């Protein structure tokens, strides 16, 4: 592990700036409205930067590069659909939702359908999606602090939880708006400049897509791996390894099932087991000094320091299916190709991310901070520009990582490629400075998204659970106290849960939050805004079924990674496994079908629906505006 | 109604109601027709732009499925499939977004002029 003073300095600087700016902004945040929606007094450019800052989470800053390094081309759908989802938000939601004056999804649910009961359902789903989205941010926090300073994973989570909770509890929405716009600038700088300099640095040694010798990722430096007992390695081609003391290991010829549920794909053909090993079902190997390990999968039976020389094929750890460069580079590579139904998987992934953006609870809040629908649309367009400028870069990091530091595959550290790759520029000032910059960028990424999520979660708990159900008679001060306490509680809970998800990929976790949002809130918002015949019953059943089935199938997939019988069952039913791991392609139509079907079968014409449509769609210049939120 | 003061943007009471606006506010059948026409225009605009971008996305997996060469094609050493999806998508998004914003504002303005 690289322990870099510069990276630690980058982290500390960003933590101090975030805390300081948040606390400084505290003196503006006086009323509940300031706290929740920044009193609509935020200039559009600052607002657009804040939206982008909040949207570009750890999944964007670290996760995409890590996944591109692991899986190649198929991962490009993530950044493109993250940005594309924002276009859909602009097209269908931005203007009307601002006019309606609903600033959270529960507000919209209640305001559009006059149903407090429906509001509760929406609050429950906000909590589910919010926590699912907070987990990968926490993982990123632990990973970043671990990579930069060598402190344990849990300590990083603790530090970040404290910084974020302090910012949210202290400054509220108004405070974090300014912090988040600042954090966007840090993130864009921290991803683009190092990627650009790395491109220049490596341009002398060939483009990252060069067909490597034999189509394998080969180590660029002699690398020491600390392996632990039970650790699994995939060997894509016969590899010479050096063990520090005699080691026993089990060897299997066939490709294993990776943690993501995708069987390894793209093993290079033709370089079968060599030397002294027979290709029976499972073999034992004994290594002393230098030994040749044949292509296949090995499990270390003792902890050891293993050295693999420069130029040898990079071993792959359990988290990444071993792949050849050509499989990695083309469509339907190890990510989609490994599922057995690449086209189905790809379309389901596109659907989840594209449609899920609209249903993310912390994204919609931002539209209310615009003065009117026109400003809301223009802000969203500006956000698209900023997102586009950012999302070009993370895949470049991933592609550079495969060519220039494939040792990360063996140590299961691909998620940290953005943090580690700058050290390839050497121990001089440039490498040190870039390490500090990317560490600061990563810190900005997860703190800004976590802040937004905590405002949403705190709002749902403090405003709804406390302010409406537990103590409906409570005053603004009590509610504000409840918001702060809820944000604190949510931060601690997310931190505790974050300790459990170390084994999952950041972007895969985020993909799940998107899938749940796409199957519940997306149809609710689109139909609720544009289809006047949608009934409360139809909307409730659609949200409950779509969101419920998506949540259950994702939990099943998570359980399958620790339960062998379930994993074996899913391995035999690959159709089911694909759908469970990426449920949007089934659950989005279910949600839409329920909403439309039930609304048509049991129509209940509401007298107020025309007035609601006027609120949603009539231009503000007509002067018909009635704010749903009176504050 | 063109002499309406700018301050009227925020307050409801200051807007002198015209016939169209009155129909609209009192939700008569005529007002209802106006609203439906506005919603239909905005919906078609949004849907058209959304389908354009979705088609751009959805065609690419099909292309790779039927024509595997798509994944191998290179320009100056960089795979074309990466360039189209990983870089080309963003200018397209921004271009579509700006077309939409301009047209949506036009539709809103025309509607406002019609009623006032």
- Chain A residues with beta carbon closer than 8 angstroms to that of B74: 209
Q: What is the pTM of this model?
A: 0.85
Of A21-30, A459-468, A515-524, A616-625, which gets the smallest average pLDDT?
A21-30
Answer yes or no: is pLDDT of A187 > 90.
yes
Rounded CA-CA distance A170/A164 in Å is 10
Instruction: Determine the pLDDT at residue B26.
Output: 63
The residues facing A307 across adjacent strands are A224, A242
B112·A347 Cβ contact <8 A:
no
What would the two tokens of residue A387 be? 């997102």
Of A64-68, A101-105, A243-247, which gets the smallest average pLDDT?
A101-105
CB atoms within 10 A of CB A548: 18
Instruction: Determine the pLDDT at residue B42.
Output: 94
Q: Of the candidates A216, A198, A215, which has an alpha carbon nearest to the alpha carbon of residue A207?
A: A198
Residue B113 vs residues A249, A310, A619, B107: alpha-carbon distances, Å: 79, 72, 11, 10
Pairing of strands A247-252, A232-235: unpaired
Answer yes or no: is pLDDT of B114 > 80.
yes
Instruction: Determine the pLDDT at residue A272.
Output: 32
Distance from CA of A84 to the nearest CA of B (A): 7
Residue A295 vs residues A217, A315, A584, B30, B34: alpha-carbon distances, Å: 14, 10, 36, 76, 71
Rounded CA-CA distance A179/A173 in Å is 10
Q: Which of A91, A377, A626 comes nearest B50 by C-beta?
A: A91
CB atoms within 10 A of CB B91: 11
Instruction: Determine the pLDDT at residue B1.
Output: 36
Instruction: Determine the pLDDT at residue A624.
Output: 63
Each residue of A115-131: pLDDT tens digit?
888 888 999 898 888 88
Instruction: Determine the pLDDT at residue A529.
Output: 93
Each residue of A390-448: pLDDT tens digit?
999 999 999 888 888 888 888 888 888 898 888 877 777 888 888 889 988 988 888 88
Q: Which of B60, B94, B108 comes nearest A384 by C-beta?
A: B94
Of A67-71, A308-312, A427-431, A457-461, which gets the smallest average pLDDT?
A427-431
Of A94-103, A209-218, A499-508, B63-72, which gets the smallest average pLDDT?
A209-218
Q: Where in chain A is the domain with CATH 1.20.1730.10?
A: 5-201+335-622
Q: pLDDT-derived band of residue A41, with 50, 70 and 90 as boundaries?
A: low
CB A188 within 8 A of CB A35: no
pLDDT (average), residues B79-108: 94
Instruction: Determine the pLDDT at residue A587.
Output: 93
Instruction: Determine the pLDDT at residue A523.
Output: 94
Q: Where in chain A is the domain with CATH 2.60.120?
A: 218-313
Instruction: Determine the pLDDT at residue A98.
Output: 85
Which residues, 6 or more positions from B57, have their beta carbon under 8 angstroms from its beta carbon? A77, A80, A81, A84, A350, A354, B89
CB B95 within 8 A of CB B103: no
The percentage of residues in chain A with a pLDDT greater than 90, rounded to a whole number, is 16
Dihedral (CA of A105, A107, A113, A119) sign? positive
Q: With an 8 Å Cβ cutoff, is B20 touching chain A?
A: no
Q: Which site among B105, B107, B108 would you substitute to test the A interface, given the most A Cβ atoms closer than 10 Å to its Cβ?
A: B108
- Chain A residues with beta carbon closer than 8 angstroms to that of B104: 95, 377
Distance from CA of B14 to the nearest CA of A (A): 8
The percentage of residues in chain A with a pLDDT greater than 70, rounded to a whole number, is 86
CB A225 within 8 A of CB A308: yes
CB A382 within 8 A of CB A87: no
More confident residue, B30 or A57: A57
A80·B14 Cβ contact <8 A:
no
Rounded CA-CA distance A492/A494 in Å is 5
Instruction: Determine the pLDDT at residue A246.
Output: 86
The residues facing A293 across adjacent strands are A239
Instruction: Determine the pLDDT at residue B34.
Output: 84
Distance from CA of B97 to the nearest CA of A (A): 6
Answer yes or no: is pLDDT of A263 > 50.
no
Instruction: Determine the pLDDT at residue A395.
Output: 94
pLDDT (average), residues A609-627: 76
Q: Which residue is it, tokens 């700018």?
A: B6
Q: Which of B47, B53, B101 comes nearest A84 by C-beta?
A: B53
The percentage of residues in chain B with a pLDDT greater than 70, rounded to a whole number, is 76
Q: Number of H helices and number of E strands within chain A? A: 25, 8
Mean pLDDT of chain A: 80
pLDDT (average), residues B74-82: 83
CB A47 within 8 A of CB A183: no
Backbone phi, psi, residue A372, to 5°: -155, 180
Q: pLDDT-derived band of residue A165, with 50, 70 and 90 as boundaries?
A: confident
Rounded CA-CA distance B21/B114 in Å is 9
Instruction: Determine the pLDDT at residue A381.
Output: 94
> ipTM surpassing 0.95, yes or no?
no
CB atoms within 10 A of CB A227: 24
Instruction: Determine the pLDDT at residue B60.
Output: 93
Instruction: Determine the pLDDT at residue A560.
Output: 80
Q: Which fold has domain A218-313?
A: Jelly Rolls (2.60.120)
Which residues, 6 or more positions from B13, have their beta carbon under 8 angstroms from its beta carbon? none
Q: Of the candidates A507, A361, A443, A513, which has an alpha carbon nearest to the alpha carbon of residue A148?
A: A443
Instruction: Determine the pLDDT at residue A254.
Output: 63
Distance from CA of A172 to the nearest CA of B (A): 26
Rounded CA-CA distance A465/A126 in Å is 12
Instruction: Determine the pLDDT at residue A542.
Output: 95
Mean pLDDT of chain B: 81
CB A104 within 8 A of CB A364: yes
Answer yes or no: is pLDDT of A530 > 90.
yes
Q: Which helix (H) or strand (E) holds A242?
A: strand A239-243
Q: Which residue is it, tokens 């404290």?
A: A162
CB atoms within 10 A of CB A311: 12
Rounded CA-CA distance A319/B92 in Å is 34
Please name the residue of chain B whose CA is at the shortest distance from the CA of residue A527.
Answer: B43
More confident residue, A346 or B5: A346
Q: Of the candidates A95, A502, A222, which has an alpha carbon nearest to the alpha carbon of residue B42?
A: A95
Rounded CA-CA distance A80/A64 in Å is 11
Dihedral (CA of A581, A534, A82, A119) sign? negative
A617·B81 Cβ contact <8 A:
no
CB A508 within 8 A of CB A70: no
Q: pLDDT-derived band of residue B23, with 50, 70 and 90 as boundaries?
A: low
Distance from CA of B93 to the nearest CA of A (A): 7
Cβ-in-10-Å burial (0-12, 13-18, 19+) of A76 comes to buried
Instruction: Determine the pLDDT at residue A16.
Output: 83
Q: With an 8 Å Cβ cutoff, is B111 touching chain A?
A: yes
Q: Which of B61, B72, B104 comes nearest A343 by C-beta?
A: B61
- Chain B residues with beta carbon closer than 8 angstroms to that of A391: 90
Answer yes or no: is pLDDT of A463 > 80.
no
Task: State the Cα torsion A191-A197-A198-A201 to the nearest 10°.
Answer: 180
- Chain B residues with beta carbon closer than 8 angstroms to that of A86: 93
Q: Of the candidates A318, A204, A192, A213, which has an alpha carbon nearest to the alpha carbon of residue A262?
A: A318
Pairing of strands B74-75, A283-287: unpaired
B74·A209 Cβ contact <8 A:
yes
- Chain B residues with beta carbon closer than 8 angstroms to that of A393: none
pLDDT (average), residues A157-167: 84
Task: State the Cα torsion A511-A516-A518-A520 to the nearest 10°.
Answer: -170
A623·B89 Cβ contact <8 A:
no
Dihedral (CA of A535, A540, A546, A549) sign? negative
pLDDT (average), residues A322-339: 80
Of A72-81, A310-319, A432-441, B39-48, which gets the smallest average pLDDT?
A310-319
Q: Which of B39, B78, B98 comes nearest A530 by C-beta?
A: B39
Residue A104 vs residues A258, A470, A628, B56: alpha-carbon distances, Å: 38, 20, 11, 31
B50·A617 Cβ contact <8 A:
no
For the structural domain made of A5-201+335-622, what CATH number should be given? 1.20.1730.10
Rounded CA-CA distance A621/A627 in Å is 14
Distance from CA of A293 to the nearest CA of B (A): 31
Each residue of A70-114: pLDDT tens digit?
898 999 999 999 999 999 999 999 889 888 877 788 888 888 888
More confident residue, A163 or A516: A516
Please name the residue of chain B whose CA is at the shortest distance from the CA of residue A75.
Answer: B86
Which residues, 6 or more positions from A584, have their beta carbon under 8 angstroms from its beta carbon? A348, A349, A351, A352, A355, A356, A514, A515, A518, A519, A550
More confident residue, A140 or A365: A140
B49·A87 Cβ contact <8 A:
yes
What would the two tokens of residue A1 be? 């592990």
Task: State the Cα torsion A607-A613-A616-A622 to the nearest 10°.
Answer: -100
Q: Which long-range contacts (CB under 8 A, 24 or more apart) does B4-11 make?
A: B4/B116, B8/A623, B9/A620, B9/A621, B9/A623, B11/A623
Rounded CA-CA distance A476/B36 in Å is 39
A381·B94 Cβ contact <8 A:
yes
- Chain B residues with beta carbon closer than 8 angstroms to that of A80: 57, 85-86, 89-90
Instruction: Determine the pLDDT at residue A485.
Output: 87
Rounded CA-CA distance A507/A504 in Å is 9
A611·B27 Cβ contact <8 A:
yes
Quick one: angle between helices A342-359 and A506-530, nearest 10? 60
Please name the residue of chain A whose CA is at the shortest distance from the CA of residue B115.
Answer: A622
């Amino acid at each position: 592990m690289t322990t870099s003073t510069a990276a630690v300095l980058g982290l500390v600087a960003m933590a101090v700036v975030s805390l300081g700016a948040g606390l400084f902004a505290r003196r503006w945040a006086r009323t509940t409205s300031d706290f929740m929606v920044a009193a609509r007094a935020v200039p559009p450019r600052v607002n657009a930067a804040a939206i982008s800052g909040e949207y570009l989470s750890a999944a964007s800053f670290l996760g995409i590069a890590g996944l591109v390094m692991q899986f190649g081309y198929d991962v490009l759908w993530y950044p493109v659909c993250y940005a594309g989802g924002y276009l859909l938000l602009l097209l269908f939601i931005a203007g009307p939702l601002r006019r309606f004056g609903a600033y959270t999804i529960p507000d919209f649910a209640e305001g559009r359908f006059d149903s407090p009961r429906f509001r509760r359902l929406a609050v429950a789903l906000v909590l589910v999606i919010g926590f699912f989205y907070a987990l990968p941010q926490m993982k990123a926090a632990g990973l970043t602090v671990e990579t930069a300073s060598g402190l344990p994973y849990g300590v990083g989570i603790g530090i970040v939880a404290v910084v974020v909770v302090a910012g949210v509890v202290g400054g509220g929405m108004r405070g974090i708006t300014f912090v988040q716009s600042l954090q966007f600038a840090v993130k864009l700088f921290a991803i683009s400049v190092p990627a650009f300099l790395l491109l220049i640095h490596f341009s002398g040694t060939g483009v990252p897509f060069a067909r490597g010798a034999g189509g394998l990722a080969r180590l660029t430096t002699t690398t020491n791996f600390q392996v632990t007992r039970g650790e699994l390695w995939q060997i894509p081609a016969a590899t010479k390894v050096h063990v520090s003391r005699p080691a026993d290991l089990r060897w299997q010829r066939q490709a294993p099932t990776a943690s993501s549920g995708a069987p390894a794909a793209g093993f290079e053909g033709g370089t079968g087991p060599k030397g002294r090993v027979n290709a029976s079902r499972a073999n034992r190997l004994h290594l002393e000094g230098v030994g040749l390990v044949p292509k296949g999968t090995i499990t270390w039976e003792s902890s050891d320091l293993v050295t693999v020389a420069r130029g040898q094929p990079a071993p792959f750890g359990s988290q990444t299916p071993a792949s050849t460069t050509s499989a990695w580079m083309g469509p339907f590579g190890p990510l989609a190709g490994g599922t057995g139904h690449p086209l189905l998987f790809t379309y389901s992934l596109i659907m989840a991310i594209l449609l899920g953006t609209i249903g993310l609870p912390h994204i919609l809040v931002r539209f209310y901070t615009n003065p009117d629908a026109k400003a809301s649309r223009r802000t969203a367009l500006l956000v698209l520009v900023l997102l586009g400028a950012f999302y070009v870069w993370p895949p470049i990091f991933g592609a550079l990582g495969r060519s220039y530091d494939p040792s990360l595959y063996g140590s299961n550290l691909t998620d940290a490629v953005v943090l580690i790759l700058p050290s390839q520029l050497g121990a001089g000032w440039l490498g040190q400075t870039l390490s500090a910059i990317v560490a600061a960028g990563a810190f900005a990424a997860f703190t800004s998204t976590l802040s937004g999520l905590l405002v949403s979660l705190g709002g749902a708990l403090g405003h709804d659970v406390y302010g409406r159900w537990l103590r409906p008679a409570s005053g603004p001060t009590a509610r504000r106290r409840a918001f702060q306490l809820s944000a604190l509680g949510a931060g601690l809970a997310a931190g505790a849960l974050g300790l459990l998800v170390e084994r999952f990929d950041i972007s895969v976790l985020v993909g799940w939050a998107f899938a749940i949002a796409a199957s519940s809130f997306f149809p609710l918002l689109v139909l609720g805004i544009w289809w006047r015949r949608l009934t409360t019953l139809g909307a409730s059943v659609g949200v409950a079924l779509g969101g419920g089935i998506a949540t259950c199938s994702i939990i099943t997939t998570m359980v399958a990674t620790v339960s062998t019988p379930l994993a074996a069952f899913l391995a035999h039913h690959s159709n089911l496994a694909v759908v469970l791991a990426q449920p949007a392609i089934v659950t989005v139509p279910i949600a839409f079908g329920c909403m439309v079907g039930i609304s048509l079968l049991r129509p209940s014409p509401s007298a107020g629906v025309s007035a609601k449509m006027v609120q949603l769609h009539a231009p503000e210049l007509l002067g018909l505006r009635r704010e749903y939120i009176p504050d | 109604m063109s002499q309406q003061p700018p301050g009227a943007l925020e307050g409801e009471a200051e807007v002198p109601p015209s016939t169209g606006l009155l129909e609209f506010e009192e939700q008569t059948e005529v007002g209802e027709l106006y609203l439906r026409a506005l919603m239909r225009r905005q919906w078609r605009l949004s849907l058209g732009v959304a389908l354009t971008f979705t088609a751009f996305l959805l065609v690419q997996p099909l292309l790779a499925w039927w024509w595997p060469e798509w994944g191998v094609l290179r320009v100056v050493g960089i795979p074309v499939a990466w360039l189209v999806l990983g870089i080309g998508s963003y200018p397209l998004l921004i271009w579509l977004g700006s077309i939409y914003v301009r047209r949506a504002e036009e539709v809103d303005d025309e509607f406002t002029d019609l009623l006032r």
